[in-house]
Amino acid sequence: MHIKSAEFVVSNSDVAKCPKSMLPEYAFIGRSNVGKSSLINMLTGRKSLAKTSGRPGKTQLINHFLINKNWHLVDLPGYGYARVSKSAKKVFQKFITQYFALREQLVTAFVLVDIRHQPQPIDLEFMQWLGEHSIPFSIIFTKADKLKPRAIENHVEAYKTVLLETWEDMPDYYITSSTKDIGKDDVLKYIDALNKNMELG
Ligand code: GTP
Ligand code: MG
């Protein structure tokens, strides 16, 4: 899919104020610093569409981007990061939860996980929560440029092993690097197919 246009629409902390249009949308979620905003820039080919930072906690709001005038990408704050207290770490910001629970336009979520790390409880719990709320999701492994191919394979296998302890099937997953443009075509192809499905109703 060719990205002809990508525009920032609105930021807010209230799902009720998100765009009213029923355009299909795709949201990126995951721990702070995992690379959600960078991935949006990589997918759209716009270097600074979404704001990124080396310090966790950069994205603080629900950010809608209109792509090709007919679908939305949504950049969300990360979970697992709290400047305030350690105990708050496990509490997903209320509006993130509300976004997923209430946003009817959401076609699928992409849960981002850093390919270098072992499966983390907070990510597994979030996937569990999505499952319990019947919210479809795929996994996007990020920062693949940081590992050699063999290590990538091993880490994905380890992830599969853990997920298959609770999930019947491994969710769809994509291996990406925003710095090396890895996985771009696969993710865009998937979104394109889902968009076409939506049009067919
Ligand atoms: P929050 O908004 O704080 O939740 O973070 P985020 O998930 O949006 O992460 P962001 O895109 O801001 O990236 C965090 C850091 O990781 C930045 O320093 C990026 O340059 C770096 N980064 C993101 N993606 C990649 C990648 O694919 N490879 C490498 N090497 N670094 C990356
Ligand atoms: Mg961000």
Contacts of residue 178, defined as CB under 8 A and 6 or more positions apart, other chains included, come to 35, 38, 39, 41, 42, 142, 143
- Greater confidence, 82 or 198? 198
Mean pLDDT value of segment 127-137: 95
Centre of ligand 1 to C-alpha 125, Å, is 22
How confident is the model over 32-62, as pLDDT tens digits? 999 999 999 999 999 999 999 998 888 889 9
Contact 144, 115 (CB under 8 A): yes
Distance CA 165, CA 141 (A): 19
Q: What pLDDT shows up at residue 118?
A: 93
How confident is the model over 8-27, as pLDDT tens digits? 999 998 899 999 999 999 99
Distance CA 95, CA 61 (A): 9
Least confident of 29-33, 92-96, 156-160: 92-96
State the ligand closest to the CA atom of 63: 2
Query: Where is 102: in which H helix or E strand?
Result: helix 94-102
Q: What pLDDT shows up at residue 39?
A: 98
Contact 176, 140 (CB under 8 A): yes
Transcribe 177-200 into DSSP letters: BTTTTBTHHHHHHHHHHHHHHHHH
Q: What pLDDT shows up at residue 88?
A: 47
Q: Determine whether the shortest distance from the Cβ of 53 to ligand 1 is under 6 A.
A: yes
Q: What pLDDT shows up at residue 201?
A: 63
State the ligand closest to the CA atom of 38: 1
What's the pTM value of the predicted model, to 2 decimals?
A: 0.95
Q: Determine whether the shortest distance from the Cβ of 60 to ligand 1 is under 6 A.
A: no
Contact 121, 162 (CB under 8 A): no
Question: Does the pLDDT of residue 64 top 70, yes or no?
Answer: yes
Q: What pLDDT shows up at residue 94?
A: 83
The residue whose CA has the least distance to atom 31 of ligand 1 is: 143
Given the structure tokens 């291996």, which residue do they identify? 175
Question: Does the pLDDT of residue 92 top 70, yes or no?
Answer: no
Q: What pLDDT shows up at residue 193?
A: 96
The residue whose CA has the least distance to atom 20 of ligand 1 is: 54
Out of 53, 95, 152, mutate this one to test ligand 1's pocket (max ligand atoms within 8 Å of CB): namely: 53
